[in-house]
């Protein structure tokens, strides 16, 4: 384990080196982020899951840096150009850009102008000009003419090409100029000829300038998208614009700034200045411009991914209704409303179609059909998709006189159609069409959002920003990690979880998840966690990683339905034995638990953090950490954008949060936007500090634009 890596990671995350070292050791031993953050608090100093994930990411980054160093050292040594100073510089380099700068002079070249000049034997002439050793550059250049060099001017031009490349590859200088661009560079965009009408949505960027380091992530991503679509040109301008070239000249002309005014020296200085200007503008500027733009693009990507992750986390941890008999409706006008009836486990019992809306308007028949289904299947709640005809369907249902109180919920159906057409949807319901699968998904996501939404690609859930413009590998890895953390935070019912849900459990993955499902199918429900060891290919390490996150409601050992890890069962039994009671009695009696002196049970492996976690689990075994679901109703008088008037105050549900504001569902097809500037009396830096996904809010309508389908809102607070 590299000592320098530990120092750098600890410094960046503001934690102790020993915490980094222990966390990395656990990863090296095959541990997962959920397992480390939940069950190895003593080893990590109680780092939370975000810190643990950050340690892993930085550790992997530095490992990649080390691999790159090895490749670079090997390449330079093969060229027999290694020096002690260069090796030391590479060994002590901890930034990828700086490392690539050090390697740049030794990187195998394509046929550049400098390469061609060197092949014609002009490098000594270039060195003489750089060293300012010639009294007459023109006369010296004559000696380099021949079959491949026509005259002295051509020789001098080739020498300048070599000097330009040498200057552009100076590692220290590149770092200085890159810092200039990063700190003071301006990004400038101009509309391309005849693109004004086509790119009207990017009008704000037709003639735009902003300091790059202060640009908001969403603006940078919008600019880059406009450039990619050919609407605008973009450029990175240093500030002041002459500063980088002045720095180049300072480095390369410093030794002869005070040279005499002899004609030869003046000639050398002129050639140097010409070559340096060419090297900066033709070689260094484009290279550093790309590096800096990529650097800020990466920052924007990561900021956008963080917003996406937090939205996804809140979406996945949305309050569940729990096990109820549900009638779910995927609403529609022309094609009708697909209706399904589900039992408490989410199994499909019946499906049908009703046509209460135009063009068929079979309202009476639809009312009778729904009433019959509610009575026949003892329906307790109704879930209605919030898409097309969603509000109208809710209004229709409220006019039905049910024999008992039926609560109606509006359910976000983003991604339901994706699930319907997915392999997972076809596998679950091979004999039903996509409309039935979509309605089932709507009903199930009301019962347990997490269990259902893990079946859908997070990018299809409508909670990101600029998701198609950011690094797709970074996005997918981050979203998968978020799903994994959410699944393990809640815990999974071992006997009912789908293959897809089990895939995200710590230590499992697709293969072991499938083996668990097949074992359950062939042998019946798991009676205890220990039975997991009978699953093919599920060894001790996988059992260690997954067992604490899998629950068995109704198990003979009550600990099997808690977050207490099996490795701590002996500790809990010891506590119960010392009190002279059973574990069940210990769970049932809060008074008994209050008498426990936890300090008596502290060991090196199980300290106070673990003991407190155990007590929390015994307090509410099998508890769901998610909030309780709340009923929310929209304004019944608002059914379309045409019903909105400026100044109206309406109830809404936050449907998406971005770094520039939040979108709110006010019960119509088009969500409204609360811009970050309309979120409070004081400046709001991060909208997620003010609102969260699915939060119930009151909003004031500021502006309605029916032509562009845009609604501007302001957050109303008491």
Q: pLDDT confidence of 133, banded at 50, 70, 90?
A: low
Q: What's the pLDDT score for residue 413?
A: 87
Secondary structure of residue 332 in the 3-state scheme = coil
**Interior angle at CA 529, CA 525 and CA 535, nearest 5:** 70
Are 327 and 251 within 8 A, CB to CB?
Answer: no
Q: What's the pLDDT score for residue 335?
A: 92
Report whether pLDDT(261) > 50: no
What's the average model confidence in pLDDT over 60-66? 95
Q: What's the pLDDT score for residue 262?
A: 44
Secondary structure of residue 712 in the 3-state scheme = strand
State the alpha helices, DSSP H only, in 377-420: 390-398, 416-420
Token pair, residue 459, equals 């990018």
Higher pLDDT, residue 669 or 690: 690
Q: How far apart are CA 257 and CA 337, in angstroms?
A: 83
Are 276 and 170 within 8 A, CB to CB?
Answer: no
Q: DSSP letter for 629, please.
A: P
Q: Could you tell me what percent of the chain has a pLDDT over 90?
A: 80
Q: pLDDT confidence of 632, banded at 50, 70, 90?
A: confident
Q: 3-state SS of the chain: helix, strand, coil percent to 5?
A: 55, 10, 35
pLDDT digits (tens, 9 = 90+) for 699-708: 999 999 998 8
Higher pLDDT, residue 396 or 108: 396
| Range with lowest mean pLDDT among 92-96, 432-436, 622-626, 710-714 | 622-626
Report whether pLDDT(539) > 70: yes
Packed helices 49-78 and 3-13: angle between N→C axes, nearest 10 degrees: 140
Report whether pLDDT(529) > 60: yes
Q: How far apart are CA 328 and CA 449, in angstroms?
A: 14
What's the average model confidence in pLDDT over 640-647? 92
Which residue in this structure is represented by tokens 């971005």?
658
Instruction: Give yes or no for a cis peptide into 240 (omega within 30° of 0).
Output: yes
Instruction: Rounding to the nearest 10 degrees, give the CA dihedral for residues 24, 27, 301, 419.
Output: -170
Report whether pLDDT(258) > 80: no
pLDDT digits (tens, 9 = 90+) for 340-392: 999 999 999 999 999 999 999 999 999 999 999 999 999 999 999 988 899 89
Q: How far apart are CA 452 and CA 91, in angstroms?
A: 49
Domains parsed from the chain with CATH numbers: 3-106 (1.10.10.650), 326-447 (3.30.420.140), 472-561 (1.10.150.310), 566-619 (1.10.150.310), 641-716 (2.40.50.140)
Secondary structure of residue 306 in the 3-state scheme = helix
Are 486 and 313 within 8 A, CB to CB?
Answer: yes
Q: What's the pLDDT score for residue 584?
A: 93
pLDDT digits (tens, 9 = 90+) for 452-503: 999 888 888 878 777 888 899 999 999 999 999 999 999 999 999 999 999 9
Average pLDDT, the chain: 92
Q: What's the pLDDT score for residue 622?
A: 81
Q: What's the pLDDT score for residue 263?
A: 45
What's the average model confidence in pLDDT over 693-698? 90
Q: Could you tell me what percent of the chain has a pLDDT over 70?
A: 98
Are 504 and 484 within 8 A, CB to CB?
Answer: yes
Q: pLDDT confidence of 447, banded at 50, 70, 90?
A: very high
Token pair, residue 27, equals 């990863």
Token pair, residue 154, equals 């051509």
Secondary structure of residue 528 in the 3-state scheme = coil
Report whether pLDDT(412) > 80: yes
Report whether pLDDT(549) > 70: yes
What's the average model confidence in pLDDT over 585-607? 92
pLDDT digits (tens, 9 = 90+) for 83-99: 999 999 999 999 999 99
Are 461 and 445 within 8 A, CB to CB?
Answer: no
Report whether pLDDT(260) > 50: no
């Amino acid at each position: 384990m590299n000592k320098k890596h530990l120092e750098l990671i600890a410094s960046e995350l503001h934690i102790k080196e020993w915490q980094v070292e222990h966390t990395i050791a656990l990863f090296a031993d095959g541990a997962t982020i959920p397992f480390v953050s939940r069950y190895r608090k003593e080893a990590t100093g109680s780092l939370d899951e975000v810190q643990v994930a950050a340690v892993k990411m930085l550790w992997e980054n530095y490992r990649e840096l080390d691999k790159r160093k090895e490749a670079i050292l090997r390449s330079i040594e093969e060229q027999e150009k290694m020096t002690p100073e260069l090796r030391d510089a590479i060994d002590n380099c901890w930034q990828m850009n700086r490392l690539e700068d050090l390697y740049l002079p030794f990187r195998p070249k394509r046929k550049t102008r400098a390469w061609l000049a060197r092949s014609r034997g002009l490098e000594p002439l270039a060195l003489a000009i750089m060293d300012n050793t010639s009294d007459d550059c023109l006369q010296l250049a004559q000696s380099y003419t021949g079959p491949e060099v026509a005259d002295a001017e051509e020789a001098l031009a080739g020498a300048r090409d070599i000097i330009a490349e040498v200057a552009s590859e100076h590692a220290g200088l590149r770092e200085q100029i890159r810092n200039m661009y990063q700190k003071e560079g301006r990004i400038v965009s101009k509309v391309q000829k005849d693109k004004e009408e086509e790119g009207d949505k990017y009008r704000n960027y037709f003639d735009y300038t902003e300091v790059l380091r202060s640009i908001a992530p969403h603006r940078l991503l919008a600019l880059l998208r406009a450039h990619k679509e050919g609407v605008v040109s973009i450029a990175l301008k240093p500030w002041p614009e002459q500063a980088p070239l002045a720095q180049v000249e300072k480095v390369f002309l410093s030794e002869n700034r005070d040279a005499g005014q002899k004609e030869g020296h003046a000639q050398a200085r002129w050639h140097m200045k010409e070559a340096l200007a060419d090297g900066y503008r033709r070689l260094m500027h484009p290279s550093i411009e790309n590096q800096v733009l990529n650097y800020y693009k990466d920052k924007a990507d990561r900021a956008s991914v963080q917003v996406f992750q937090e939205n996804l986390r809140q979406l996945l941890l949305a309050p569940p209704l729990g096990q109820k008999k549900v009638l779910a409706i995927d609403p529609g006008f022309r094609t009708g409303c697909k209706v399904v009836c589900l039992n408490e486990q989410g199994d499909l019992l019946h499906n049908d179609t009703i046509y209460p809306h135009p063009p068929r308007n079979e309202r009476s028949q639809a009312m009778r059909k729904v009433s019959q289904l509610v009575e026949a299947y003892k329906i307790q709640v109704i879930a209605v998709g919030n898409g097309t005809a969603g509000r109208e369907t809710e209004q229709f249902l409220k006019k039905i006189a049910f024999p008992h109180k039926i609560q109606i919920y509006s359910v976000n159906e983003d991604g339901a159609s994706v699930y319907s057409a997915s392999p997972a949807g076809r596998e679950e319901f091979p004999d039903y069409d996509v409309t039935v699968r979509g309605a089932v998904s709507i009903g199930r996501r009301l019962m347990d959002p997490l269990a259902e939404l893990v079946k859908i690609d997070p990018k299809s859930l409508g909670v990101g920003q600029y998701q198609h413009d950011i690094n797709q590998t970074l996005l997918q890895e981050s979203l998968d990690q978020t799903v994994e953390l959410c699944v393990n935070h809640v815990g999974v019912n071992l006997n009912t979880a789908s293959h897809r849900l089990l895939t995200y459990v710590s230590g499992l993955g697709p293969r072991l998840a499938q083996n668990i499902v097949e074992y359950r199918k062939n042998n019946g429900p798991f009676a205890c966690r220990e039975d997991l060891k009978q699953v093919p290919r599920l060894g001790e390490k996988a059992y260690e990683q997954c067992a604490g996150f899998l629950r068995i409601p109704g198990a003979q050992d009550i600990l099997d339905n808690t977050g207490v890890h099996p490795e701590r069962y002996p500790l809990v039994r010891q506590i119960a034995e010392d009190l002279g009671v059973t574990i069940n009695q210990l769970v049932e009696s809060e008074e008994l638990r209050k008498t426990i002196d936890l300090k008596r049970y502290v060991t090196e492996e199980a300290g106070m953090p673990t003991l407190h976690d155990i007590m929390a689990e015994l307090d509410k075994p099998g508890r769901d950490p998610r909030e309780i679901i709340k009923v929310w109703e929209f304004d019944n008088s608002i059914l379309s954008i045409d019903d909105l008037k400026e100044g109206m105050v309406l109830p809404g549900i936050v449907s998406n949060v971005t770094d520039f504001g939040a979108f709110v569902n006010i019960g119509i097809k088009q969500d409204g936007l609360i811009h970050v500037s309309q979120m409070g009396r004081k400046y709001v830096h991060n909208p997620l500090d003010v609102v969260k996904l699915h939060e119930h809010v009151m909003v004031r309508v500021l502006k309605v634009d029916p032509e562009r389908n845009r609604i501007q809102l302001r957050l109303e607070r008491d």
